Amino acid sequence: MTKPRTNPLFHISKRKEITLRESASIRAGAILLALAACALVTTALTGENPIAVYGTMWHGAFGTTRKIWILLQNMALLLCVSLAVTPAFKMRFWNIGAEGQTLMGGLATAACMILLGDKLPNPVLIPLMFVLSCAAGAVWGGIPAVCKAKWGTNETLFTLMMNYVATQLVAYFVIVWEVPKGAGKIGIINQSTEAGWLPQLAGQKYLLNVLIVAVLTGLMYIYLSRSKQGYEIAVVGESERTARYVGIKVEKVIVRTMLLSGALCGLAGFLLVAGTDHTITTTIAGGRGFTAVMVSWLAGFNPLNMVLTSFLLVLLDRGAAEISTDFGLNHAFGDILTGIILFFIIGSEFFARYEIRFRKSAGKEG
Amino acid sequence: MKKLIAAVLAMALCLSLFAACSGDTGGETGEVKVGFIFLHDENSTYDLNFMNAAEEACKNLGLSEDQYVFRTNIPEGQECYDAACELVDDGCTIIFADSFGHEDYMIQAAKEFPEVQFCHATGTKAHTEGLENYHNAFAAIYEGRYLAGVAAGMKLNEMIEAGQFTAEEAKMGYVGAYTYAEVISGYTAFYLGAKSVCPSVTMEVTFTGSWYDETAEKEAANTLIANGCKLISQHADSMGAPTACETAGVPNVSYNGSTISACPNTFIVSSRINWAPYYEFVINAVKNGEQIPADWTGTIATGSVVLTEVNEAAAAAGTAEKIAEVQAALTEGTLHVFDTASFTVEGAALDSYMADVDTDPDYTPDTEAISDGYFHESEYRSAPYFDLQIDGISLLDTAF
């Protein structure tokens, strides 16, 4: 005896294609739902007016010219690290060592500023810092890549562990260079001479960083979508076997791409230390190496989309800080809101990729 | 076209009204607006101590809620400079920062905004930077540590009398953060306070390499207890050491505030800095158009160095009375914590010591600190600079 087959309540199937309009409306819907959920949570937990909270977030991000510059600067640095990890991700090489690669770049920059600050003039010193910081990042990214290419080691664990080695190296050098003795801090390097400091353009502290990353975004887009190397990365990412079959040297592509990825992280470290903070600490990368993973994924590894996703994450972060100041709420509350918004946005990716079809009526066989 | 002109005019009117309004709140009342920058938030005992003081000071001076702004979780990097500038944009005329690593970024902002007063707690550079609007502050917390040390020594005496151990076995343990002058000054003062009532006492010090690392501090305290330390004190900001003491039943002299609720059986007393007097001093000075000194050192007399209530359940009998007596001698100036007659370095008493008071990357000793028979702590700048390794104290590790 056979049971009568019943149709399930709904089917989930992969979308063949999605129009721009559909995808935009799904994402806009997600953001609206997220804002509504945040409003409910805000009212329930704090009793504050959610519209006022959103207004404050907006003000925190765009309230003054200075706030806009800070937003752009934070965005530039996050985007720089995100651009750095993207070629590796596109190759399906999970580089989660961007934090350490950035730190190594920063450490190389700081070392030049401290050791050579009074020996070389800025026009010589700054290019040297740039080259060495990219090289330091490249070495830090290259080691796991070589091991992966030669012995098939797990790159996720390897790159992650390299972060801790980098943190401890920085901690060591902080104690070597600390001022005053025992303080465990280096403080601003060359504050009086500004040796090794990136120049200010048009009187704007952060303009140069923003411009450099803007150019980098364009270059990375062209590299990934128009160059032969970019194509090789995509093929290796899709299928290593196919890549081998068509004659791509997979090992070479892995190492080359990770050297690039690490070098760009090193560049981010260089911009952080020489461009803005002018010091080195174990926490200077500020988790950007990990946030970058989200920026890159959310943007579907497209550098132009990453401008939007990094903007969104920095906007949420700056807004959250403003809420804690204005409403006297703990910083964690801003993080809760950020979490809710990201949950909806990441969730919307599912609906953009899959469609759900509900059972029309009972008994009808599909 | 007329409509357009009308619209533009209406908008201009609105904007000018708005500008006039915002102008009023800033200028006319002549009141101050104060910005506070904190490294963490209220979950850190260190920052909580500053936040409570800031609130107390603003309340005491009758500042309304829109006259002060708290910025929490500001790291010791460019974010501090940005936060300070944003506070200036927001109309603040006084800006305080609470963490050592904020200093250089505060100086950078101070150079950019000469009309705003920047006051930095625990920093060392104000007296050498020579900026009119940049100031350091600290408190003579070594005096508080000394008093807490007296309480510790009395506890040791009580335990010796009770036959728990001999006078020679009276050893204390101290969990420090870094081998920084502030920590060295603190533990030496604590040791000298204990030694003043229990002459045979010795002390072991270990360092964690972090201002806040609960696990490391707990482990450090446990190591010291296993080494035979009969009493523990600490200079780091977590509950690691006090809770380790409570678990092991070893008396603890705390820092930053009372830990009695978590450690009812072992907490003796705690010293802490009260920052409210400094905040009030600065705000009043700005209100009255008076100069703020480059360095300000709070004392017992200004109410900046305070001790919590003694926990009678754990402390030796008569501790509170003895503390009051020693405190009086300190305020009168008849007693000095770093009296050269009370300590030796490598077996010899000191009559001269060049301290590193002016901060430089080579740690160059630059200022004679010993005169009139004692080491003049926190006089040539507010932040401590006593960094001598005196006899009777052994350091377990100096990696940090």
The mean pLDDT value for A316-342 works out to 88
The sign of the dihedral angle between the CA atoms of B377, B380, B383, B388 is negative
CB of A182 closer than 8 Å to CB of A120? no
Per-residue model confidence (pLDDT) at position B25? 39
Tokens of A129: 């810092």
List, for residues A182-207, the tens digit of each pLDDT value: 889 999 999 999 999 999 998 889 99
Per-residue model confidence (pLDDT) at position A324? 86
The CA–CA distances, whole Å, from A140 to A156, A220, A285 equal 14, 20, 15
Q: Which of A75, A174, A185, A204 to mutate to test the interface with B (most CBs of B within 10 A)?
A: A185
Asked if the interface predicted TM-score (ipTM) of this complex is over 0.85, the answer is yes
Specify the range with the lowest mean pLDDT, choosing from A77-91, A146-160, A307-321, B13-27. Answer: B13-27
| CA A144/CA A258 separation, integer angstroms | 8
Domain boundaries, chain A: 13-48+331-354, 69-328
Per-residue model confidence (pLDDT) at position A8? 81
List, for residues A143-168, the tens digit of each pLDDT value: 999 999 999 999 999 999 999 999 99
Per-residue model confidence (pLDDT) at position A355? 84
Chain B residue numbers with beta carbons less than 8 Å from the beta carbon of A328 are: 70
Work out the minimum CA distance from B142 to partner chain A, whole angstroms. Answer: 18
Q: Does B70 touch chain A (CB under 8 A)?
A: yes
Please tell me the total number of residues recorded for chain B in this structure.
400
| CA A181/CA A160 separation, integer angstroms | 32
Greatest distance between any 2 Cα atoms in chain A: 91
Per-residue model confidence (pLDDT) at position B9? 46
CB of A234 closer than 8 Å to CB of A86? no
Work out the minimum CA distance from B385 to partner chain A, whole angstroms. Answer: 10
Q: Where residue B22 falls among pLDDT bands split at 50, 70, 90?
A: very low
Asked whether residue A366 carries a pLDDT value surpassing 90, the answer given is no
| CA B233/CA B173 separation, integer angstroms | 6
Per-residue model confidence (pLDDT) at position B24? 38
The mean pLDDT value for A317-330 works out to 87
The structure tokens 């200004």 sit at B302
Q: Which one is predicted more confidently, A328 or A267?
A: A267
Per-residue model confidence (pLDDT) at position A119? 94
What's the pTM value of the predicted model, to 2 decimals? 0.89
Per-residue model confidence (pLDDT) at position B18? 40
Chain A residue numbers with beta carbons less than 8 Å from the beta carbon of B43 are: 330
Write out the CATH class of domain B141-275+298-395: alpha beta
CATH superfamily membership of B31-138+276-287+292-297: Response regulator (3.40.50.2300)
Does A330 contact B363 at a Cβ distance shorter than 8 Å?
Answer: no
The mean pLDDT value for B143-157 works out to 97
Helix (H, G, I), strand (E, B) or coil at B295: strand
Give the per-residue SS3 of chain A: CCCCCCCCCEEEEECCCCCHHHHHHHHHHHHHHHHHHHHHHHHHHHCCCHHHHHHHHHHHHHCCHHHHHHHHHHHHHHHHHHHHHHHHHHCCCCCCCHHHHHHHHHHHHHHHHHHHCCCCCHHHHHHHHHHHHHHHHHHHHHHHHHHHHHHCCCHHHHHHHHHHHHHHHHHHHHHHHCCCCCCCCCCCCCCCCCCCCCCCECCECCHHHHHHHHHHHHHHHHHHHHCHHHHHHHHHHHCHHHHHHCCCCHHHHHHHHHHHHHHHHHHHHHHHHHHHHCCCCCCCCCCHHHHHHHHHHHCCCCHHHHHHHHHHHHHHHHHHHHHHHHHCCCHHHHHHHHHHHHHHHHHHHHHHHEEEEECCCCCCCC
Asked whether residue B166 carries a pLDDT value surpassing 70, the answer given is yes
> Long-range pairs for A226-234 at CB < 8 Å and ≥24 separation?
A229/A253, A229/A256, A229/A257, A230/A87, A233/A87, A233/A90, A233/A91, A233/A257, A234/A90, A234/A91
Q: What is the mean pLDDT of chain A?
A: 92
Asked whether residue B345 carries a pLDDT value surpassing 70, the answer given is yes
Asked whether residue A212 carries a pLDDT value surpassing 90, the answer given is yes
Q: Where residue B343 falls among pLDDT bands split at 50, 70, 90?
A: very high
Q: Which of B48, B104, B105, B388 to mutate to test the interface with A (most CBs of A within 10 A)?
A: B104
Q: What is the CATH number of domain A69-328?
A: 1.10.3470
| CA A168/CA A352 separation, integer angstroms | 42
Chain B residue numbers with beta carbons less than 8 Å from the beta carbon of A179 are: 359-361
A30 burial level (CB within 10 Å; 0-12, 13-18, 19+) = buried
List, for residues B49-106, the tens digit of each pLDDT value: 999 999 999 999 999 999 999 999 999 999 999 999 999 999 999 999 999 999 999 9
Q: Where residue B23 falls among pLDDT bands split at 50, 70, 90?
A: very low
Per-residue model confidence (pLDDT) at position A4? 64
Per-residue model confidence (pLDDT) at position B337? 97
- Out of B69, B86, B179, whose CB is closest to A182? B179
Task: Tell me if domain B31-138+276-287+292-297 and domain B141-275+298-395 are identical in fold.
Answer: yes
CB of B363 closer than 8 Å to CB of A181? yes
B346 burial level (CB within 10 Å; 0-12, 13-18, 19+) = exposed
Asked whether residue B28 carries a pLDDT value surpassing 60, the answer given is no
Instruction: Please enumerate in sequence order all residues whose Cβ is within 8 A of that of A170, keeping only pairs 6 or more positions apart, or say none.
Output: A103, A106, A107, A280, A281, A282
Q: Which one is predicted more confidently, A351 or A94?
A: A94
Does B184 contact A182 at a Cβ distance shorter than 8 Å?
Answer: yes
The mean pLDDT value for B254-280 works out to 95
Domain boundaries, chain B: 31-138+276-287+292-297, 141-275+298-395
Tokens of B227: 């080494």
Instruction: Please enumerate in sequence order all residues whose Cβ is within 8 A of that of B23, keeping only pairs 6 or more positions apart, or say none.
Output: none
List, for residues A250-270, the tens digit of each pLDDT value: 999 999 999 999 999 999 999
Per-residue model confidence (pLDDT) at position B3? 52
List, for residues B94-145, the tens digit of each pLDDT value: 999 999 999 999 999 999 999 999 999 999 999 999 999 999 999 999 999 9
Q: What is the DSSP string of B81-99?
A: HHHHHHHHHTT-SEEEE-S
Specify the range with the lowest mean pLDDT, choosing from A202-211, A323-332, B376-385. Answer: A323-332
In angstroms, how far is CA B230 from the centroid of its own chain? 26
Per-residue model confidence (pLDDT) at position A361? 60
Tell me which DSSP letter residue B351 carries: S
Specify the range with the lowest mean pLDDT, choosing from A9-23, A85-99, B38-52. Answer: A9-23
Asked whether residue B366 carries a pLDDT value surpassing 90, the answer given is yes
Q: What is the mean pLDDT of chain B?
A: 91
Q: Which one is predicted more confidently, B24 or A253?
A: A253
